[in-house]
Amino acid sequence: MIDLRSDTVTKPTPAMLDAMMHAKVGDDVYGEDETVNNLQQMAADMFGMEAGLFCPSGTMTNQIAIKVHTQPGDELICADNSHVYKYEGGGIAFNSGVQAKTLKGDRGRITASQIVEVINDGNVHFPVTKLVTLENTANRGGGSFYDLDEIKRIRKMCTENNLILHLDGARIFNAIVETNYTAKDMGQIFDSISVCLSKGLGAPVGSVVLGKKEFINKAKRVRKVFGGGMRQAGFIAAAGIYALQNNITRLKDDHQRAKQVADVLKQKSFVKEMMPVDTNIIIFKAVNVETANQFIDRMKSENILVGKISSDECRMVFHLDVTDEMVNRLIEKL
Ligand SMILES: *Cc1c(COP(=O)(O)O)cnc(C)c1O
């Protein structure tokens, strides 16, 4: 089976499982799980941030950040196809009583000049604009990534306007391996960062949220309220440590494979248009809805699973469990 529906489908390798089996654990709600503590410190250090908090999912780390940064009735600004707005079950409203002002981005990326246009002034009629969230890489943008200069412009604009800046960095390392910026650059710019360990990095479960100590103390309280306080979580945190130590630079291989497959797909008559492939995600529109369905069914009959993200759009995501042999078979079947 070649499963390209998402980069969340990876299974732990024997070496990762071994690290998990030998983890030293304790009760993390008491702060006594040394493996969780190590993971949190390690991730914070990588980004040059003060502290981190391990959580069950990236949805939870994003939602915790939004909750800590806002008050009910506030407004946040994000891209209209961003994960926080589109794929977290209305959590912005449900968890934080906050509303979203959405902007049409360029493949999921928004700009400082767009954001500054929609900041509300202090008039009592308007919700208080409090927070900006960026997504890098942008999932619905086909794995597009930001330029460092644009992120810096957004930071400057946020500081000038008293806005907090959060990064949904579910796939931040996919951006980092393709660009001239580092994790530490990101840590300097953002007030909080959410990083998924369970995407391309290949851990079975978990995300970390990073920020200042004061932010993380508040985040810990919110995590408990959301039901995300875990006990001997070191067994899964050990997979996260293993992932950060071993699975970052190899993300480039996923990008290379995605481009290789995209070059073949591009020439097919059933493909109407395809987003540029910047990292590990291919998104293309089929010529019509039936063709999209047929393509997915035909691939499935060849034991190749392709994702469907709207009526006529297909998605293929490359990850740790996709090998060169699989890519060759995929190209042959295409
Ligand atoms: C996967 C993902 C998340 C978090 O998803 P979980 O499944 O809750 O871990 C957040 N943002 C983006 C852009 C994602 O792709």
pLDDT single digits (tens) 159-184: 999 999 999 999 999 999 999 999 99
Side chain identity at 144, as an amino acid letter?
A: S
**Is 57 near ligand 1, meaning CB less than 6 Å away?**
yes
Q: Residue 48 in 3-state DSSP?
A: coil
Give the closest residue to 66 by CA, choosing from 189, 199, 192, 185: 192
The mean pLDDT of 313-325, rounded to a whole number, is 97
User: What's the pLDDT tens digit per position in 64-76?
Assistant: 999 999 999 999 9
Ligand 1 atom closest to Cα of residue 139: 13
Taking the alpha carbons at both ends of the chain, their separation in whole angstroms is 15
**Is 207 near ligand 1, meaning CB less than 6 Å away?**
yes
**Tokens of residue 18, six digits:** 């071994």
The mean pLDDT of 316-321, rounded to a whole number, is 97
Pocket probe mutation, ligand 1, options 66, 95, 139, 317, max atoms within 8 Å of Cβ: 139
CATH 3.40.640.10 boundaries in the chain: 14-246
What is the model's pLDDT at position 69? 98
**Tokens of residue 139, six digits:** 């999932």
Q: How far is the CA of 121 from the centre of ligand 1 (A)?
A: 32
Pocket probe mutation, ligand 1, options 109, 171, 196, 198, max atoms within 8 Å of Cβ: 196
Q: Cα separation of 164 and 50, whole Å? A: 17
What is the model's pLDDT at position 253? 98
What is the model's pLDDT at position 116? 98
Given pLDDT bands bounded at 50, 70 and 90, which one contains residue 296? Answer: very high
Q: Residue 160 in 3-state DSSP?
A: helix
**Is 139 near ligand 1, meaning CB less than 6 Å away?**
yes
Give the closest residue to 175 by CA, choosing from 159, 157, 163, 193: 193
Asked: is 14-246 a CATH 3.40.50.300 domain? The reply is no
User: What's the pLDDT tens digit per position in 225-269?
Assistant: 999 999 999 999 999 999 999 999 999 999 999 999 999 999 999
Query: How far is Cα of residue 248 from the mean position of the Cα atoms in its chain?
Result: 14
Residues with Cβ within 8 Å of 94's Cβ and at least 6 positions away in sequence, in order, are: none
User: What's the pLDDT tens digit per position in 34-61?
Assistant: 999 999 999 999 999 999 999 999 999 9
**Tokens of residue 254, six digits:** 């996923």
The mean pLDDT of 124-141, rounded to a whole number, is 98
Q: How far is the CA of 166 from the centre of ligand 1 (A)?
A: 14
The mean pLDDT of 175-199, rounded to a whole number, is 98
CB count within 10 Å of CB 328 equals 11
What is the model's pLDDT at position 290? 96
**Tokens of residue 64, six digits:** 């915790």
CB count within 10 Å of CB 226 equals 17
Q: Cα separation of 223 and 252, whole Å? A: 33
* Percentage of the chain exceeding pLDDT 70: 100
Q: Cα separation of 31 and 20, whole Å? A: 19
The mean pLDDT of 10-29, rounded to a whole number, is 98
Pocket probe mutation, ligand 1, options 7, 8, 81, 168, max atoms within 8 Å of Cβ: 168
Q: DSSP assignment, residue 71?
A: -
User: What's the pLDDT tens digit per position in 102-114?
Assistant: 999 999 999 999 9
**Is 83 near ligand 1, meaning CB less than 6 Å away?**
yes
CB count within 10 Å of CB 234 equals 27
CATH 3.90.1150.10 boundaries in the chain: 250-333
Decide which of 3.90.1150.10, 1.20.1370.20, 3.40.50.150, 2.60.40.10 is the CATH code for 250-333: 3.90.1150.10
* Phi–psi pair at 232, nearest 5 degrees: -80, 65
Given pLDDT bands bounded at 50, 70 and 90, which one contains residue 133? Answer: very high
